[in-house]
Chains A and B, each alone.
Chain A
Amino acid sequence: MIETKDVYFTYPNGVEALKGVSLLINDGEFVAIMGQNGAGKTTLVKHFNGLLKPTKGEVLVDSINTRETSVAKLARNVGFVFQNPDHQLFCESVEEEIAFGLRNFGFEESLIKKRVDWALNLLDLTKYRQTSPFLLSGGERKRVALASVLAWDPKTVVLDEPTIGQDHRQKEKLRQFIVQLNTQGKTVVVVTHDVEFVAESNPRVVLMSEGKIVADGLAEKILTDEALLTKASIVPPQISQIFLQLSDLGFPANIIDVYQARDVLLKRLEARRK
């Protein structure tokens, strides 16, 4: 469980990035944090593993105040995958990269080997075991970063903009993977402005603007509220745009996905025929 209580954060250069954020994320939730550039999304999630400590207010991770513990301890429970994988990777081979975190947490060598194999396989990286992460493509490096975090099996995984630089197919794979992690009981927090990506899985959306939370609810509710989205510099998903333009025809207001759209349209046409 992650709880932020009226959190304020000011960077050393004076920029006030968070202005009173209170948020409760329960175990096993899938949360997408959305909002415009500079809204404070990344600043907020960096509080979840203690990388940043609030200037005012407090953050509790499993009831432990982040001020009273170390990042190393928190990281065991909250794994963080950065926006830019180059800020995270540094080892000479993919295998070493994944083993690094495990060694730091003091896992037994025999277990490390098992975990590395497991993570390589999970993210389809086995063929790159001996390759330098820096010879891989951007999308592949992102998968290495994710593998290195999942290897130590943290309870919560935070992914900052995981879809940047990924093509459609990789994005779909990643989405299925995230949903799968979540179904297996992991808490997943994704920072993203990719509305189509969010629309396809309908998670809880926390919408931020100028350092504050401005809305909190299911994606189908938040991503169909045009006035609210405009304030947060987000464009509704294309399917919801279509239905917003047909709002006079009395369709349900919460349609964000193509299959959902097909079903209501077929139902309407069927009713007309009768």
Chain B
Amino acid sequence: MPIIETKDLTYTYQGATKPSIREVSIKIEKGEFVILTGPSGCGKTTLCRCFNGLIPHFYTGTLNGTINVANLDVTKHQIHELARHVGFVFQNPENQLFALSVEKDVAFALENLGTPRAEMQERIEWALKAVGAYELRERAPHELSGGQQQRVAIASVLAMQPNVMILDEPTSFLDPLTAKKIFEVIAELNEQLGITVILVEHRLDLTAQYADHVIIMDEGKVVLDGNPRDIFNSEEARLIGVGIPKATRLFQILKEDGINIKSVPISSAEAAKALRRILKHD
């Protein structure tokens, strides 16, 4: 039983002349780490809004098809019910933070879920430390830099430890090393707690290695859906203009020069290993 399943999902925002997503049918299994990518305006964010009920409950418009998340029909269950299962880190952290202190912002969702006080304190501390924002706990979120706000927004969702975490370009304001550390924390949660992760991302060099499922959208449709290695190595992915990992790209151009390799690398470690083999045996 997939944790998220959509069938022929089509959605048009109110006042829009054409649908933002069209006939999307996907299945996401529990515990998967999914990367959702595609050109700007392809419908990634719209699709994610269907997973936590923002569509159709907050954004009005026309919805056709079905969405099931954690055995709930999203059209029939309210956002607050879905929030028990699905945590959402928005693209712009300013849209998410509102409390007077960082600590209170992270506490908010836990309070709403009725988490016992002692556990709440533990989780807040853990989440803030995980994203490297513990020293900011008494600061006001609106006074923080974009990068710091982004870390707090991630912590507030991490603290909930939801079944499904949706992260919409969660590290765009962060420097690469901080971004890498945050992706490592997310990958760890996915691995150890079995949290299903849906990551909307353009920076595949930093993230491809964590994925076990890749979905690529273009003009509102799902155009590629499957195993990361096959997808990143496909001609279609490159033609759509997805920034496939450089490690993968290197092997594609080496192939054009007659150097063949069975398993296509998607990370620098894999590429280095494969090159070492080729250089030794050639």
A176 within 8 A of B: no
Quick check: A245 and B269 within 8 Å, CB to CB? Answer: yes
Beta-carbon contacts under 8 Å, A251-272 to B: 258-259, 261-262, 265-266, 268-269, 272
* One of A138, A249, A266 near B257 (C-beta < 8 A): A266
Best-surrounded residue of A168, A170, A261 (most CB of chain B within 10 A):
A168
| Inter-chain contact A165/B172, CB cutoff 8 Å | yes
Q: Is B193 an interface residue when CB atoms closer than 8 A count as contact?
A: no
Establish whether residues A245 and B272, one from each chain, have CB atoms under 8 Å apart when the complex forms: yes
B82 to chain A, nearest CB (A): 26
Question: How many residues belonging to A are interface residues under a CB distance threshold of 8 Å?
Answer: 45
B282 touches A273 (CB 8 A): yes
Does B279 lie within 8 Å of A37, measured CB to CB?
no
Q: How far is the CA of A107 from the CA of B214 in the complex (A)?
A: 51
Question: Are B241's CB and A234's CB within 8 A?
Answer: no
A13 to B249, CA, bound (A): 47
Q: A37-B173, A164-B173, A193-B176 are in contact. Are A241 and B268 (CB under 8 A)?
A: yes
A238-B254 contact, Cβ under 8 Å, with A35-B175, A245-B268 = no
Tell me which of B177, B203, B253, B279 contacts A259 (CB under 8 A).
B253
Report the separation of the CA atoms of residues A138 and B250 in the bound assembly, to the nearest whole angstrom. Answer: 31
- Once bound together, how far apart are the Cα atoms of A259 and B282, in whole Å? 21
The answer to whether B99 has its CB under 8 Å from any CB of chain A is no
Residues of A within 8 A of B169 (CB): 165
Instruction: Tell me if B71 is interfacial: C-beta within 8 Å of chain A.
Output: no
User: A169 to B172, alpha carbons, bound, how many Å?
Assistant: 17
Q: Given that A37-B175, A139-B40 are known contacts, is A246 also in contact with B276, CB under 8 Å in the complex? A: yes
Q: Is the CB of B247 within 8 A of A242?
A: yes
Q: Which chain B residue has the least Cβ–Cβ distance from A200?
A: B246
Name the residue on A nearest B243 (C-beta): A168
Query: In the complex, which residues of chain A have a beta carbon less than 8 angstroms from the beta carbon of B272?
Result: 241-242, 245-246
Question: With A139-B40, A165-B172 given, is the CB distance from A230 to B246 under 8 Å?
Answer: no
Residue B233 lies at the interface, judged by CB distance under 8 Å to chain A: no
Query: What chain B residues lie within 8 Å of A242 (beta carbons)?
Result: 247, 250, 268, 271-272, 275
A36 at interface, CB cutoff 8 A: yes
List residues of chain A with CB within 8 A of the CB of B202: 166-168, 171
**Cα of A209 to Cα of B275 in the assembled complex, Å:** 34
The reply to whether the CB of A137 lies closer than 8 angstroms to some CB of chain B is yes
Question: How distant is the Cα of A169 from the Cα of B145 in the complex, in angstroms?
Answer: 28
Q: What CA separation (Å) do A268 and B40 show in the bound complex?
A: 40
A27 within 8 A of B: no
B33-49 residues at the A interface, CB under 8 angstroms: 38-41
Q: Quick one: which of A167, A230, A237 contacts B39, CB cutoff 8 A?
A: A167
CB-CB nearest in chain B for A247: B272
Asked if B40 contacts A170 (CB within 8 A), the reply is yes
User: Which residues does chain B contribute within 8 Å of A266, judged by CB atoms?
Assistant: 254, 257, 259
CA distance in complex: A165, B268 (Å): 24
Contact B40 A137 (CB under 8 A): yes
Give chain A interface residues in 184-232, CB to chain B under 8 Å: 193, 195-196, 229-230, 232
Question: How distant is the Cα of A35 from the Cα of B172 in the complex, in angstroms?
Answer: 15
A61 proximal to B (CB < 8 A):
no
Q: What B residues does A229 contact at CB under 8 A?
A: 177
B253, A258: Cβ atoms closer than 8 Å: yes
Leading 6 A-B pairs by shortest Cβ distance = A168-B243, A169-B241, A241-B268, A245-B272, A37-B147, A238-B246
Other than the given A169-B39, A229-B177, A269-B282, 19 more pairs (CB < 8 A) read A35-B175, A37-B178, A83-B146, A164-B173, A166-B40, A166-B202, A167-B40, A168-B241, A195-B176, A233-B176, A233-B177, A235-B176, A238-B267, A238-B271, A242-B247, A242-B250, A242-B275, A258-B249, A262-B253
Can you offer 24 A-B residue contacts whose CB atoms are under 8 A? A36-B175, A37-B145, A37-B174, A37-B178, A83-B146, A137-B40, A168-B202, A169-B241, A171-B202, A193-B176, A235-B176, A235-B206, A237-B205, A238-B268, A239-B247, A242-B268, A242-B271, A242-B272, A262-B254, A262-B257, A265-B254, A266-B257, A266-B259, A272-B282
Residues of B within 8 A of A (CB): 38-41, 91, 145-148, 169, 172-180, 202-203, 205-206, 241-243, 245-247, 249-250, 253-254, 257, 259, 267-269, 271-272, 275-276, 278-279, 282
